[in-house]
A and B are shown apart, each in its own frame.
Chain A
Amino acid sequence: MAEMWKISEILAEKNRFKAFDKKHPRELAACFSNLGHVVELLNRCGDVGAFQVAFFRSEGENVYRIGQTGVQHAVETRLYVYVSVVDHTVYVLTIGDKTQQADDICRCKEAVRKVEKRRNQ
């Protein structure tokens, strides 16, 4: 039986989540709901490349963004995750809106590089 995918918060920027929840609670909830769906699809399909959904996009270097859906007049929101095939874990990284996305992606990739470097040592 294939190993089930897990979710981990150990790499998450908690302060960002707290601040974002105060400003955009509906969008944050939608992103986490979609994260759940992504994990279900990973468990069903086994691999991140085996399915395509619009709210789940690669940003490169195993960093993916999960968008909000089903929220009227929503602020475009991105929940960033690191999909690690090594330990079948989706690490939640940070959350932000479209205006911050360039900085967010850079920071997420840096965090993932550090993790993968530590893992390879």
Chain B
Amino acid sequence: MSKKSMTTATLAASLTGNPEAAKRVARHQAETRFVRTLIDMRVARKLSQRELAKNMSVSPSKVCRLEASRDEDLNLGDVFLYLKALGMTMSVIFDDPTLPAADRIKHHVFAVHDQLEQLQKLACQIGGEDAISDKIKQFYGEVLFNFVLRLGDSYAKLPSVTPIRLDGADVPSKGSAHRKNADKHFSAANV
């Protein structure tokens, strides 16, 4: 029996003979992306809608309705409750595209710093001799390396600048090629 792999959007267009069907499928997927993520998280925790409803102290039909919604129809309170029932929290980033890029970058740097501080507190609680603590220290190295790498990449693309040298090697003019080499070096060094 012959068969081929295809996306559901192209399949819809093929079966209906209407290319517009593919666009409509793609639009529906875009409009329900957040809801799908919620469902995926519930399924990953092996919870049925009924079990989740019990954890949320709501009726199963409410969970059913929530999971059948479009993203824009979701109620923020319901989402918080849903996530709480999954044992999760939600971080919201308010991103104003009209703000200067510098302000938006600062915002993200502060957010990363907050996460690193939480990790640091965890490492302090565990103590210095634990394997988890070693992994955290290693992770800090990875974060630093990756950050500097990407910063260097972007910096090198600025007009009239001297590229940042990371490892003493000759720095190629193209940032991406440099990153490829540096990634190899990174893996070998096992920072």
Question: How many angstroms between the C-alpha atoms of A14 and B43 in the bound complex?
Answer: 32
Report A34 CB to chain B, min CB distance, Å.
Answer: 8
A26 touches B24 (CB 8 A): yes
Question: How many angstroms between the C-alpha atoms of A69 and B66 in the bound complex?
Answer: 10
Could you tell me the dominant secondary structure of chain B's interface residues? helix
Q: Mark A1-24, 1 if CB is under 8 A from B, else 0.
A: 000101111101010011011000
Residue of B nearest to A70 (CB): B70
Residue of B nearest to A11 (CB): B1
Question: How many angstroms between the C-alpha atoms of A93 and B49 in the bound complex?
Answer: 27
Given contact pairs A70-B28, A70-B70, a sample of 16 additional A-B residue pairs in the complex whose CB atoms are under 8 Å apart: A8-B1, A9-B14, A9-B15, A10-B1, A10-B2, A14-B15, A26-B28, A28-B16, A28-B24, A29-B28, A32-B11, A33-B32, A41-B40, A41-B43, A53-B67, A54-B64
Residues of A within 8 A of B (CB): 4, 6-10, 12, 14, 17-18, 20-21, 25-26, 28-30, 32-33, 35-37, 39-41, 44-45, 50-55, 69-70, 87, 89, 92, 115, 119
